[in-house]
Amino acid sequence: MFEKLKEAKEVFLDKLGKVDVAVITGTGIKINIAKVLKKLDYGEIPHIPETTTKSHRGYFEISDFDDKRVVVANGRFHYYEGYSLEDVVFLARLLGLSGARLIILTNAAGGLSPFFKQGDLMVANDHINMMGANPLRGKNIDELGERFPDMGEVYSRKHIEMIKKAALENGIDLKEGVYLSVAGPSMETPAETRAFRLLGADAIGMSTVPEAIALRHMGINCISISIITNLNKPDCMSKAAIDDVINVAHKSSVRLSKLITYFLGEL
Ligand code: HPA
């Protein structure tokens, strides 16, 4: 796997140059930051898995923001699609190896906290991995990190504080909480929702945690921002339709883009 990453990195650097900050977008999310200088399909880089949704292949968008090179990776790989977690984290590892010192992971999530409303943004201060799998399982890639990486601060506290400040200064309501990941693709039963809330989760989704673990393993800073696309309340479950999830994610992307843009300016 490390050989594949190295090959992908060579081509990536050749075509796009070194990265400073990267954003990985979640379901229905579109991040617009600055003028896009270049677009590149994932297919142009070796070993990036093929997306299962043929209608929208993944692609990179490259922008220069102040003196920083920012790459937005549109389209990620989910465990529920059938990929191994190694494949799921390939993109995050590639961006990390290509120079990114901070990776912003975005996702659509269900809200478990009673304080959340649909369309809210939440920065994760920690996570609970309920996927039943770990991207670091198997022989350790010593070139990337150690066998038993510490997970005491998966999401960079410094950057969490910075993005909270950015939200405050822009009048954007940014919640903070614990993100719990499930394998999916089935949604949660009322009993599961109740259990996950009892465990201490504020938001729930099917991504992000594998990438965050892989990045911490590499010693690369990351933060996670969720768009709360639906409320997941055990005693009055409303059906979470994928079209609603995509619609809400799309709408809140405007606020999220504004927040990320301001935050990048403060880095
Ligand atoms: N549960 C799991 N994943 C999700 C949800 C949810 O309610 N909403 C968006 N992704």
Residue 234, pLDDT score:
73
Give the span between the Cα atoms of 267 and 249, in whole angstroms.
Answer: 25
Does 112 contact ligand 1 (Cβ within 6 A)?
no
Q: What are phi and psi of 13, to 5 degrees?
A: -65, -35
Lowest average pLDDT, out of 35-39, 88-92, 108-112, goes to 35-39
Does 208 contact ligand 1 (Cβ within 6 A)?
no
Ligand 1 pocket test target in 230, 236, 250 with most atoms within 8 Å of CB: 230
For residue 143, what pLDDT band results from cuts at 50, 70 and 90? very high
Does 230 contact ligand 1 (Cβ within 6 A)?
yes
Q: What distance lies between CA 50 and its chain's CA centroid?
A: 18
In this model, does residue 35 exceed pLDDT 90?
A: no
Work out the average pLDDT over 210-218.
98
Instruction: Tell me the pLDDT of the chain averaged across its residues.
Output: 92
Rounded distance from Cα 187 to ligand 1 centre (Å): 7
> Bridge partners of 38?
62
In this model, does residue 51 exceed pLDDT 80?
A: no
Residue 243, pLDDT score:
80
| H or E element in which residue 166 lies | helix 157-169
* Closest atom of ligand 1 relative to the 245 alpha carbon: 9
Give the span between the Cα atoms of 148 and 217, in whole angstroms.
Answer: 8
CA nearest 244: which of 122, 114, 110, 113? 110
Sequence-distant (6+) residues with CB within 8 A of 119 are: 227, 228, 229, 248, 251, 252
Does 232 contact ligand 1 (Cβ within 6 A)?
yes
Ligand 1 pocket test target in 245, 246, 250 with most atoms within 8 Å of CB: 245
**CATH assignment of 2-266, given 3.30.1330.30, 3.50.50.60, 3.40.50.1370, 3.40.50.1580?**
3.40.50.1580
Residue 251, pLDDT score:
85
Residue 78, pLDDT score:
94
Residue 28, pLDDT score:
86
What totals of helices (H) and strands (E) does the chain contain, helices first?
7, 9
In this model, does residue 178 exceed pLDDT 60?
A: yes
Q: Summarize pLDDT for 92-129 with one digit per residue, the tens.
A: 999 999 999 999 999 999 999 999 999 999 999 999 99
In this model, does residue 158 exceed pLDDT 90?
A: yes
Q: Which two tokens stand for residue 160?
A: 């969490």
Q: Where are the domains of the chain?
A: 2-266
Please indicate, yes or no, whether the overall pTM of this predicted structure exceeds 0.85: yes
In this model, does residue 54 exceed pLDDT 70?
A: no
In this model, does residue 249 exceed pLDDT 90?
A: no
Does 204 contact ligand 1 (Cβ within 6 A)?
yes
Give the span between the Cα atoms of 153 and 222, in whole angstroms.
Answer: 10
